[in-house]
Amino acid sequence: MQPLFMEPVFQEKIWGGTRLNTVFGFDLPNDHIGEDWAISGHPHGVSMIKNGAYQGKTLDELWKNHKELFGNPHEEVFPLLVKILDAEDDLSVQVHPDDAYGLKHEGELGKTECWYVIDAKPGSEIVYGHSAQTREELAKMIEEERWDDLLVRVPVKKGDFFYVPSGTIHAIGKGILILETQQSSDTTYRVYDYDRKDAEGNTRELHIQQSIEVTTVPARKPEISISEVRKGNSAIITYLKTDFFNVYEWQIKGHVSFDKKAPYTLATVIEGYGELIVNGESYELELGTSFILPNQIKTWEIQGALRIIASDPGMK
Ligand code: ZN
C-alpha cells in the first residue's frame, strides 16, 4: 500500500494573491488565487490522486468505493478538508453553522475549523469573536453597522494556532498565509464584506439572518491546550483534539518513526524538504506536498528538515 498524494485544487477569490506561487512554488492560473484545496473530497473542489494504484481517481470516489482505505467509516462524505489560504486582502467577516443547522438548512455538514499561521506580514490581524452579550444586541449592532464595537480583533504572527468552532464570528486579515483544517463544508454566512465591489461593481451576498441565528452569543473563547513530545531534534506538537479532527505539527530535523493513531492521517508540508518512507519505499516531500496515509499503512518514517501540519479524524 502506498500513501495517496494529492493534486492541488486552486480557487480564485476576490481577496486572493500570488503567495501560493511565490512561497509554495505552485503554477497558478492567475494572480487572485485565495485557496489551495490541498486535501478535499468536497464537490466544490475535489482532490485527485497523483500516484500508485489509484492515480487519476478522486478522493470522493475512493471514499465511496474503497472504504477499506479509511478503516470502513460510516460517514457518507470524506469529513475533512485541508486548505492553504493566501489572504492578499481581508476575507469577509463570517460565521459557519454547526452540523445540525448545516444539515437542516444547507444539506451539508457544519464547519468547525482551525488555522495554523504559516506566515503573517507585520501588523496582520484577524477578527476572532464579538462583544454582543445577547442575540438582540448582536442583531442591533449588525443592523447599525457598529463593526468597530462589535468585532474583536487579535494580532497574529507566524506560528500562531487558532481554533474556530462553528458559531464563531471570524475573518482572516490581509497579509496572512494559513493552513486551515476544517470539516468538509463550504457553507459560509457572510456578516460584513467591507462594502467591497468586484470588477463588475457588484457586492457579495450577505447572510445576516443566518449569521444572527448561528452565532454563539455571548462569544466563548475556545480553549486549546497545546502539548509537545520531543523525539531527538524533532518534535510532535498536538494543537487540538476535537470531535471532528485532531491536528498536529510534525517538526522534523533528522529522522522520526511514526505509528498510526487513527484510521487515516492527512499531512501537508508547510516548510522545508525531506522524504517519507513507507514499507522501504521513499517518496519526496517538498513544500506544498499533501498526502493521506491510508488505514493499511501502520508505520512510516519521515526524514529531512521540514515541518508538516497533520490531522486525523481520531478513533471513532
Ligand atoms: Zn471560515
Predicted local confidence at residue 106, as pLDDT: 94
- Provide DSSP, 157-172: -TT-EEEE-TT--EEP
What average pLDDT does the segment 259-288 reach?
Answer: 97
190 is catalytic: yes
pLDDT exceeding 70 applies to what percent of the chain? 100
Q: How far is the CA of 11 from the centre of ligand 1 (A)?
A: 15
Residue 231 pLDDT greater than 90, yes or no: yes
Look at the chain and count its residues: 316
SS3 category, 84: strand
Predicted local confidence at residue 316, as pLDDT: 63
Radius of gyration of the chain (CA): 19
Residue 8 pLDDT greater than 70, yes or no: yes
Question: Catalytic: which of 19, 135, 153, 190?
Answer: 190
4-214 and 227-313 share one fold = yes
What is the distance between the alpha carbons of residues 272 and 306, in angstroms, rounded to a whole number? Answer: 4
Predicted local confidence at residue 314, as pLDDT: 86
pLDDT exceeding 90 applies to what percent of the chain? 93
What average pLDDT does the segment 86-104 reach?
Answer: 96
The pLDDT-based confidence of 221 (bands split at 50, 70, 90) is: confident
What average pLDDT does the segment 1-20 reach?
Answer: 96
Predicted local confidence at residue 294, as pLDDT: 98
Predicted local confidence at residue 315, as pLDDT: 76
- Tell me the per-residue pLDDT of 45-89, one tens digit each, with 9 for 90 and over: 999 999 999 999 999 999 999 999 999 999 999 999 999 999 999
- How buried is residue 296: exposed, middle or buried, by Cβ count under 10 Å (0-12/13-18/19+)? middle
Q: How far is the CA of 170 from the centre of ligand 1 (A)?
A: 7
Q: How far is the CA of 199 from the centre of ligand 1 (A)?
A: 24
Provide long-range contacts, Cβ within 8 A and 24+ apart, for 23-31. 23/86, 23/118, 23/119, 23/177, 23/287, 24/84, 24/287, 24/288, 25/286, 25/287, 25/288, 26/288
Report field, pTM of the whole predicted structure over 0.85:
yes
Across all residues in the chain, what is the average pLDDT? Answer: 96
Q: How far is the CA of 61 from the centre of ligand 1 (A)?
A: 26
The pLDDT-based confidence of 250 (bands split at 50, 70, 90) is: very high
Asked whether 283 and 276 are in contact (CB, 8 A), the reply is yes
Query: Sheet containing 125-130: which strands, arranged edge to edge?
Result: 151-155, 125-130, 170-171, 93-95, 189-192
20 alpha-carbon distance from chain centroid = 15
Q: How far is the CA of 9 from the centre of ligand 1 (A)?
A: 18
Domain boundaries, the chain: 4-214, 227-313
Using alpha carbons, select from 289, 36, 80 the residue that is nearest to residue 181: 80
Supply 257's cell numbers: 518513526
Query: Which CATH code fits 227-313?
Result: 2.60.120.10
**Beta strands 4-5 and 9-17, pairing class:** unpaired
Query: Which CATH code fits 4-214?
Result: 2.60.120.10
Predicted local confidence at residue 198, as pLDDT: 80
